[in-house]
């Protein structure tokens, strides 16, 4: 393409800012990033409290986050944050030792889990070769075509009919391969981090995020954090770009005609040659001149209602580490605390963050206020009662996220991704962001790399 093209990027989160970075690396300097809010980073949101930053969204990374490392190198950022430790509790607050090999009673089961995880890794590398490339191109038809999950990101492609199984819900996928205990490992960084339940989410999503290497790094404690929070990665990137994101950009209209893109932002029309949409595609038809095909495909998208609360805990009850509550990762306990996150050791005036899902496929969406009340009760049961001030719980921040946009198995198997990919470049428009690969920050950034490499 002509390197002088004027390119608009909608969204100043990880996808949009990294798209700008990868464009810059290829010599495209004439771009604008429009961000609706007053800050960059999207769900990598790290507010300040008592002189330090805490996390309302993304928490951590691992060494297999090659795309995030691209940003670190470009922007001069280091993963220099606090070390994280976690343990387990039951919903009643008692310690849960099911994953502790020091408790002899659990060893036979843990050995079975370890055996199945090993078999799972071998299966992924053989029967499901190609499962971990960037994006979902061709998967529904038994094909893979993308960039390998390696630092070099070599482009690979091939046919593998077994990949069609990735459209199945992950529970069904594990049952088909007679590896049900794998769920106990994979559920921890998946459901607790707000990505839904394994009886409803297609396997393709689970394994794009939690490929075998990434999962073992999570479980093994090879965790990256950032002292100034995950948001600092994207703030540093934004400061390094030749054109920082334009904040508080209210886009009310997009018209694509005559090989141009006309964008009305803050009441003024601007003209561009190309458009990259990283904002939620589900809402793109509300302000853009979408075709019937775009409207139909984007209407298939659903998302998780995932809430985070930053709580100040009673001083003598401040936890020693983060805790997972495995019981609450089951669908019947929807609306209860699945994990509470301890970022700063022995600092009781820093918040503890709890994480709750309140939606599931085909079910009623739980009331937000009721779930907030649940978290107060849950934290008390878990031994970390929320401190009160003037008779009210000290909840200093609430995150009510549009989280993990995805399609379900029926649409995944019917080739939703191939249909969207076939539209790339039409009407001078390209689609990126969470939905196009997966909603964690590395896969989101990785797809922006993929998009720029393929089309620019």
Residue 181 maps to which CATH number?
1.10.405.20
pLDDT at 102: 86
pLDDT value of position 364: 80
- DSSP 8-class letter at 181: G
Which residues pair with residue 261 across a beta bridge? 256, 272
CATH for 384: 3.30.70.1990
User: How far, rounded to the nearest angstrom, does the alpha carbon of residue 186 sit from its chain's CA centroid?
Assistant: 15
User: Could you read off the pLDDT of 2-27 as tens digits, one per residue?
Assistant: 999 999 999 999 999 999 999 999 99
Residue 184 is predicted with a pLDDT of 96
Dump pLDDT digits (tens) for 94-135: 999 999 888 888 899 999 999 999 999 999 999 999 999 999
What pLDDT, on the 0 to 100 scale, is given for residue 313? 96
Report the C-alpha gap between 253 and 230 in whole angstroms: 31
Residue 113 belongs to domain spanning: 106-210
The H-assigned helical ranges of 167-310 are: 170-176, 183-190, 203-209, 212-219, 231-240, 292-298
Q: Indicate whether 279 and 416 sit together in one domain.
A: yes
Beta bridge partners of 86: 322
Q: 286-295: long-range contacts (C-beta < 8 A, 24 or more apart)? A: 287/251, 287/252, 287/253, 287/254, 288/253, 288/254, 288/256, 289/254, 289/255, 289/256, 291/427, 293/419, 293/423, 294/423
List the beta bridge partners of residue 159: 143
Nearest-angstrom CA–CA distance, 32 and 11: 10
Do 306 and 266 have their domain in common?
Answer: no
Find the CATH number of the domain harbouring 448.
Answer: 3.50.50.60
| Beta-carbon count within 10 A of 216 CB | 16
Q: Are residues 110 and 194 in the same domain?
A: yes
Between CA 14 and CA 441 the distance in angstroms is 6
Residue 379 counted as domain residue: yes
Averaged over 183-193, what is the pLDDT? 96
Asked if residue 28 is part of any domain, the answer here is yes
Q: State whether 177 and 42 are in the same domain.
A: no
Residue from 165, 170, 176 nearest 129 by CA: 165
In tens, the pLDDT along 219-255 reads 999 999 999 999 999 999 999 999 999 999 999 999 9
Model pLDDT for residues 35-51, shown as the tens digit of each residue: 999 999 999 999 999 99
Residues 119 and 197 in one domain: yes
398 pLDDT higher than 90: yes
Q: For residues 254 and 264, what is the distance between their CA atoms, to the nearest angstrom?
A: 6
Same structural domain, 413 and 293: yes
Residue 101 in domain? no
Same domain, 414 and 290: yes
Residues 6+ apart with CB under 8 A from 365: 305, 358, 359
Within-domain flag for 396: yes
Q: Is residue 176 part of a domain?
A: yes
Q: Across all residues in the chain, what is the average pLDDT?
A: 96
Q: Residue 183: which pLDDT band, with cuts at 50, 70 and 90?
A: very high
Question: Can you give the pLDDT at residue 33?
Answer: 98
**Domain boundary residue, one of 180, 210, 240:** 210
Q: Is the pLDDT of residue 363 over 90?
A: no
User: Is the residue at 241 inside a domain?
Assistant: yes
> Residue range 291-310: average pLDDT?
97
Q: What percentage of the chain reaches a pLDDT higher than 70?
A: 100
Band the pLDDT of 34: cuts 50, 70, 90. very high
| Average pLDDT for 429-456 | 97
Stated length of the chain: 456
Query: Is residue 244 located within the same domain as residue 269?
Result: yes
Q: What is the reported pTM?
A: 0.95
Residues 194, 440: contact at Cβ < 8 Å? no
Q: Dihedrals φ, ψ of 354, to 5°?
A: -115, 160
Please check the confidence at residue 362 and state whether its pLDDT lies above 90.
Answer: no
pLDDT exceeds cutoff 90 at 52: yes
120 within some domain: yes
- Supply the pLDDT for residue 194: 96
Residues 380 and 306 in one domain: yes
Cβ burial of 204 (10 Å; 0-12, 13-18, 19+) is buried
The arithmetic mean of pLDDT across residues 321-340, rounded, is 96
Question: How many structural domains does the chain have?
Answer: 3
Within-domain flag for 222: no
Residues 63 and 48 in one domain: yes
In contact, 407 and 436? CB cutoff 8 Å: no
Bridge partners, 64 (sequence order): none
User: What confidence tens digit (pLDDT) does each residue in 143-160 have?
Assistant: 999 999 888 899 999 999
- The reply to whether 179 and 127 lie within a common domain is yes
- Other CB atoms within 10 Å distance of the CB of residue 101: 11
> Do 37 and 112 lie in a common domain?
no
């Amino acid at each position: 393409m002509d390197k002088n093209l004027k390119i608009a990027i909608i969204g100043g989160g990880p996808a949009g800012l990294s798209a700008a970075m990868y464009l810059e690396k290829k010599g495209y300097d004439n771009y604008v990033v429009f961000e609706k809010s007053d800050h960059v980073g999207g769900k990598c949101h790290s507010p300040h409290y008592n002189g330090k930053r805490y996390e309302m969204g993304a928490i951590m990374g691992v060494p297999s986050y090659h795309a995030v490392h691209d940003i670190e190198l470009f922007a001069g950022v280091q993963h220099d944050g606090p070390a994280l430790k976690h343990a387990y509790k039951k919903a009643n607050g008692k310690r849960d030792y099911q994953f502790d090999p020091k408790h002899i009673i659990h060893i036979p089961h843990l050995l079975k889990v370890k055996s199945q995880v090993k078999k799972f890794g071998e299966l992924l590398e053989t029967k499901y070769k190609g499962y971990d490339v960037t994006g979902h191109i061709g998967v529904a038809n038994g094909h893979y075509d993308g960039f390998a999950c390696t630092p070099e990101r070599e482009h690979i492609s091939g046919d593998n009919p077994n990949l069609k199984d990735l459209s199945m819900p992950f529970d069904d996928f594990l049952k088909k391969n007679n590896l049900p205990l794998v769920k106990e490992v994979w559920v921890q960084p998946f459901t607790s981090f707000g990505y839904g339940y394994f009886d409803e989410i297609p396997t393709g999503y689970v394994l794009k995020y939690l490929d075998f290497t990434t999962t073992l790094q999570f479980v093994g404690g090879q965790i990256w954090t950032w002292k100034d929070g995950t948001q600092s990665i994207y703030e540093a990137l934004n400061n390094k770009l030749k054109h920082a994101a334009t904040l508080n950009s209210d886009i009310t209209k997009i018209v694509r005609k005559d090989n141009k893109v006309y964008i009305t932002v803050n009441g003024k029309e601007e003209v561009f040659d190309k458009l990259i949409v990283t904002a939620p595609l589900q809402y793109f038809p509300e302000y853009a001149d979408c075709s019937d095909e775009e409207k139909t495909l984007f209407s298939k998208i659903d998302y998780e209602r995932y809430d985070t609360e930053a709580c100040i805990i009673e001083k003598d009850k401040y936890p020693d580490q983060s805790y997972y509550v495995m019981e609450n990762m089951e669908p019947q306990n929807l609306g209860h605390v699945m994990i509470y996150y301890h970022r700063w050791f022995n600092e009781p005036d820093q918040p503890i963050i709890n994480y709750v899902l309140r939606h599931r496929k085909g079910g009623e969406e739980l009331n937000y206020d009721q779930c907030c009340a649940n978290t107060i009760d849950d934290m008390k049961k878990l031994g970390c009662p929320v401190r009160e001030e003037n008779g009210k719980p000290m909840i200093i921040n609430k995150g009510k996220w549009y989280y993990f946009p995805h399609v379900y198995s029926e649409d995944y198997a019917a080739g939703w991704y191939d249909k969207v990919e076939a539209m790339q470049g039409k009407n001078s428009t390209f689609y990126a962001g969470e939905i196009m690969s997966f909603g964690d920050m590395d896969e989101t950034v990785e797809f922006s790399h993929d998009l720029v490499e393929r089309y620019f």
